[in-house]
Structure formats: structure tokens, C-alpha cells
Amino acid sequence: MSVAIDASIYARRRARLAARLGKGVAIVPTAPECLRNRDAHYPYRYDSYFYYLTGFREPEAVLVLVGGDTPRSILFCRDKNAEREIWDGYRYGPEAARTTFAFEEACSISELDTRMPDLLADRPAVQVHLGSDPVWDGRVLGWINAVRSRARSGVAAPGDLRDVRVLLDEMRLIKDGHEIALMRRAGEISAAAHRRAMQTSRPGATEYEVEAVLQHEFRHHGAQAPAYTSIVAGGANACVLHYVENNAALADGDLLLIDAGCELDGYASDITRTFPVNGRFSSAQREVYELVLAAQAAAIAAVKPGAHWNTPHDAAVAVLAQGFIDLKLLSGTLDAVLEQESYKQFYMHRTGHWLGLDVHDAGEYKTGGEWRELQPGMVLTVEPGCYIRPAPGVPEAFINIGIRIEDDALVTEDGCEILSAAAPKSVADIEALMRDRHD
């Protein structure tokens, strides 16, 4: 059945977008359902842009936002269908969708092709998301051509075709109060899952058992799904950045790297913790771990309004590069290691990304050729790491150590708030929590 919706959140966002449309029209469809095999579908996930503007979670829906002096939002959605609702469950239908989600108008998705040419007639611009689905692109161009074919009756087709993501990405970059509350809660749930994973891990357990604990904790607290495929990587598997097999046994003396976060009402969290399977860091593991933790602290200290996007990354790289020299993983001066980027042998990814409805969220990282300045309301991850694969000259004790520490940071007026802070990360806190599990 339907759930309580605060439609004003989405109506406000539509009003903000409409104010930027002039007399143009924006068309934002939701995502298609996706077949997994034969009659089985992948779990349905709505399109993030569509959801941001509507809060509407059903498939087969399109938002049309008509700009001008009195903007109108029109939802096209599935009709009520007594037969289908017996099989698949409740669907709003246009009338209930209109009142529940505060659209000016709602109609059947079956009317989309006949209504669109009228809605585009005499409109100077149409803003859509082009280039990801050729069938959808063709449909939009078909509506524009249908208007053009009426030119002799004095109707003008839109001359300006734009990417609606340019406007929406800027909006999505600064989170509003509703989004921040959800992302705080998603961070808490995911942090609790990481704590449980630490308490579950022991030699002889398997990566998939630990993954199951994470999933249980997500769903137990009402999160709908993992925000991305969980990485549960013991020992050398942690040096595979996108390891998702999660099928190996955990060995005494190895580290376990877990990169996992839930999605709550559309919003992602993204947390990585690395800890010893047996609950005690070896001295080599601890040395590398403390280095990555120091790099993360330096990066987090750089997350504040006015800092450039790249400043936290540069701060992390400077700490890691010096650490690699100190640990004799690299030779040469700090300047040479930075200049030649030889640190990339052990740290080859970026230190973060925007976070929100998508785990790698919408928003440009540069504007006008310069790294973007951080502003209050932006949310980003801070995730330095170190991955030591076997190679000539690498000290034996460090081989196959893979460590990443990842937190989610909300930029505030004077720094940042760590949304994932409840997941332990100091050596002392991790060892204390894991000691408790033996009691």
C-alpha cells in the first residue's frame, strides 16, 4: 500500500527546477524494469533524477515539467489495474498519484505519445536526459518532429534541446534537510552493520557469512538494499579494488576489508573498514593501517567550505607518499615520488566522490576548468587506501596487505560532519570491539 509522503519536499524541488526552465519544458522519465533471466526481474530501482523530483517509486512513469509564469508538473503513470494489482501489488493510478504527490495534473502513461506534441508546441526549449537510451532518445525526437510537422498551422517546435542534468546535478549537489536526515540515518545503519561484521569475523568464517550479516543489519533497520555490491575481501582479495566474489574463507593473520553501505529511501552510504580477522593487528599490518588512517585524518581536516575538491586528495597523497618512503616501499625523495606519481603503485584511486541518491553521485568536480569549491550541504566520501601486491623490492611482511578506510563527510559551515562516525576505525577501538566478541 501507499506510505506517508511529504509531497511538499518534491514540489519545492520541482518549483526550483521550473524557475530555471523559463518557458521551456523538462521531461524526466523513471528507470525501466530490467529482466534478470526469463520471468525474473532485477529488484526495481527508480531513476534518481525522477525520484528526486517526485518521490514516486513505481516504474513506467514520466514527469513533464512545463515552465512559464504558472509552471505545471504533469505525471504520466500506470493506470489502476485490478488484475495486475492482485499479482504485483498496489499501484497509485493517476488520480491518487496526483493528490498524494501534489502534481498539478496526472494522466495515464498510455497517453504520453499523444499528449507530448501539444505540450511541446510553441515552447522554446526542451530539457531531457539524452544519450543513455536510444529508444527514449528516438521517442523525444519523434515528439519534436510531430510539432515541427504542424509548422504550417503556425506552431513552432522547440529549437533548443538541452541536457536537463546540467540543472539537476547542481541542485542535487547541495543536500536539503530531508536528504541530510536520510543520509545521517543511512550512515548509522551502515556503521552498525560494520560493527556487527567486526564482531562476526573469525578465522574459518567465510566472506559470504560476513556479507550476510551486513545485509541482515541493513534490512533489519528498514534500508531497502545495499547501495552497491558489498566488497568483503579477506587477505590478498583486498588488493582487488572491485572484488565482489565474497566466497573465500577468512584466514588467521589476514586482514578483512569491507566496503559496504546501505541505501535508505534512495540515499546511499558508502563505508569501508579494514580490520584483522583474528581481532589483533600484526605489527606490519598496524604500520600500514596507521599510515592510511593518518592520510584519512589529513584529508578529512581539509574538508571545509572554500577548500577545492582536490585538496583532501592532495592531503592524503602527501601523507601516503611520505609513509611509503618511510616503510621502504618506495625510494627517493617525497618530491620525486609525488612528481613521478610512483605512489600510484600502492594508491591508484582517487580519495573520494560525491555521495547522495547515487553512490557516485551527480555533480561536476570542476567548474570553468577549476576544481570546485566545497560548500555546506555537499556530501563526499574520504577513502584513502594502500594495496601492496607482490613486486620486486616490496618487503615480505607487507605483501598482500590491502587497506582502505572510507567515511562519508557532510560539509558544514566550519568543517565537516562524519555521517559514518559510528563505525570504529582506530586500532584501539577495533581491537576492543573484537575482543568483546570473545567474551
Q: Which residues bind ligand GLY (CB under 6 A)?
A: 228, 259, 270, 353, 359, 383, 406
Length of the chain: 439
Neighbouring CB atoms inside 10 A of 294's CB total 16
| Cα–Cα nearest to 312, from 369, 365, 368 | 365
Q: Which stretch binds Mn ion (CB under 5 A): 117-125, 161-169, 254-262, 319-327?
A: 254-262
State which residue, 296 or 381, has the beta carbon closest to Mn ion: 381
Please give the C-alpha separations between residue 423 and each of 74, 89, 157, 383, in angstroms, as whole numbers: 43, 37, 55, 14
Which partner from the list Mn ion, ligand GLY, none does 190 bind, CB cut-off 5 to 8 Å by kind?
none
When binding is defined by CB under 5 A, the residue of 230, 278, 381, 420 that contacts Mn ion is 381
Which partner from the list ligand GLY, Mn ion, none does 228 bind, CB cut-off 5 to 8 Å by kind?
ligand GLY
Subset of residues 97 to 136 that bind Mn ion, contact rule: CB under 5 A: none
Please give the C-alpha separations between residue 316 and each of 6, 299, 320, 400, in angstroms, as whole numbers: 40, 5, 6, 21
| Cα–Cα nearest to 43, from 263, 212, 361 | 263
State which residue, 58 or 407, has the beta carbon closest to ligand GLY: 407
Which partner from the list Mn ion, ligand GLY, none does 211 bind, CB cut-off 5 to 8 Å by kind?
none
To ligand GLY, the closest distance from the beta carbon of 13 in angstroms equals: 26
To ligand GLY, the closest distance from the beta carbon of 214 in angstroms equals: 13
To ligand GLY, the closest distance from the beta carbon of 231 in angstroms equals: 7
Q: Does 408 engage in binding with Mn ion (CB under 5 A)?
A: no
Neighbouring CB atoms inside 10 A of 381's CB total 26
Which partner from the list ligand GLY, Mn ion, none does 48 bind, CB cut-off 5 to 8 Å by kind?
none
Which partner from the list Mn ion, ligand GLY, none does 58 bind, CB cut-off 5 to 8 Å by kind?
none
In the chain the first and final C-alpha atoms are separated, in Å, by 44
| Cα–Cα nearest to 382, from 262, 300, 274, 266 | 300
Subset of residues 388 to 407 that bind Mn ion, contact rule: CB under 5 A: 406
State which residue, 263 or 270, has the beta carbon closest to ligand GLY: 270
DSSP sequence for 96-148:
HHHHHHT-SEEEEGGGHHHHHHHHHTT-SEEEE--SS-HHHHHHHHHHHHHHH
Number of residues in contact with Mn ion under rule CB under 5 A: 4
Crossing angle of the two packed helices 112-120 and 134-148, in degrees rounded to 10: 50
To ligand GLY, the closest distance from the beta carbon of 433 in angstroms equals: 22
To Mn ion, the closest distance from the beta carbon of 232 in angstroms equals: 12
Q: Does 259 engage in binding with Mn ion (CB under 5 A)?
A: yes
Strand partners, 28: 63
Q: Does 207 engage in binding with Mn ion (CB under 5 A)?
A: no
Active site members = 39, 242, 259, 270, 349, 353, 360, 383, 387, 404, 406
To ligand GLY, the closest distance from the beta carbon of 229 in angstroms equals: 8
State which residue, 361 or 431, has the beta carbon closest to ligand GLY: 361
Give the β-pairing of 105-108 and 72-77: parallel
| Cα–Cα nearest to 48, from 360, 270, 378, 411 | 360
Do the Cβ atoms of 385 and 352 come closer than 8 Å? no
Residue carrying the nine cell digits 601492496: 388
Please give the C-alpha separations between residue 85 and each of 13, 92, 93, 267, in angstroms, as whole numbers: 30, 10, 11, 27
Q: Which stretch binds Mn ion (CB under 5 A): 64-72, 193-201, 263-271, 337-345?
A: 263-271
Cell of 73: 508538473
Q: Does 58 engage in binding with Mn ion (CB under 5 A)?
A: no
State which residue, 63 or 382, has the beta carbon closest to ligand GLY: 382
Q: Could you give the angle at the alpha carbon of 211 between the alpha carbons of 208 and 216, nearest 5°? A: 125
To ligand GLY, the closest distance from the beta carbon of 9 in angstroms equals: 27
State which residue, 147 or 231, has the beta carbon closest to Mn ion: 231
Subset of residues 275 to 304 that bind Mn ion, contact rule: CB under 5 A: none
State which residue, 265 or 383, has the beta carbon closest to ligand GLY: 383
- Give contact residues for Mn ion (rule: CB under 5 A): 259, 270, 381, 406
